[in-house]
A and B are shown apart, each in its own frame.
Chain A
């Protein structure tokens, strides 16, 4: 199975900051990577697919980059509504796997 490792595990930021979350795959997954945001008690929400394509309706302050084994999710001008846990997920193989999550706390 392909292992997905996110860093950091937790992140604290103030409104207006720029934050970056990294996701590493244990083998190349080309650009078959998605990012999700989950708030407590709610279902996850798709933010980005195919590494860098923004899902419809997602604010442009979110962006994704990377290919192969290393990927990043960047949020510029962080807003209070951006708190929650972020997950990456590979779809290169049908044994899909998620990263362990990065919790973003707003100061």
Chain B
């Protein structure tokens, strides 16, 4: 079964850091670009970051640029999001998403709460 499973979410204080992980199974991760998409409570979807198959092309939303770093390890079938200088407004469910034609496979999401 094609699957993405996120982990690493939790409660963190403003200014803190967190590292999210996403484990892929059922397909060859290196064949696909990947994204992180988040959704704040009661709000819509917000694209966060993109990384192509070889990590040679990486993009970030302006709201996280300079604070978040995306990376991948194709050998380990993993995608990661290092989040630093977290703000209250970063509170959201974070989804790991495979991109083929459209964002075709989504993880179940991991919840990040930034609060004091």
What 1/0 mask marks residues of chain A from 81 to 107 whose CB sits below 8 Å from any chain B CB? 000010101010011111111000000
Contact A1-B62, Cβ < 8 Å, known A36-B103, A46-B103: yes
Which one, B8-16, B21-29, B40-48, B77-85, is touching chain A?
B40-48
Does the CB pair A46–B59 fall under 8 Å? no
Does the CB pair B101–A97 fall under 8 Å? no
- List residues of A (20-47) whose CB comes within 8 Å of B's CBs: 34, 36, 38, 43-46
B residues near A (Cβ < 8 Å) are 35, 44-47, 50, 57, 59, 61-62, 95, 101-104, 106-109
Q: Which B residues touch A53, using CB under 8 A?
A: 101
Does the CB pair B102–A94 fall under 8 Å? no
Does the CB pair B35–A96 fall under 8 Å? yes
Task: Other than A46-B102, A49-B104, A98-B46, give 12 A-B pairs with Cβ distance below 8 A.
Answer: A1-B62, A36-B45, A38-B45, A43-B109, A44-B95, A87-B44, A87-B45, A89-B45, A95-B61, A97-B47, A101-B44, A101-B45
Interface residue total, chain A, C-beta cutoff 8 A: 25
What 1/0 mask marks residues of chain A from 32 to 72 whose CB sits below 8 Å from any chain B CB? 00101010000111101110010100000000000000000
Closest 8 CB pairs of A and B: A49-B102, A43-B106, A96-B47, A34-B102, A94-B59, A98-B45, A49-B101, A101-B44
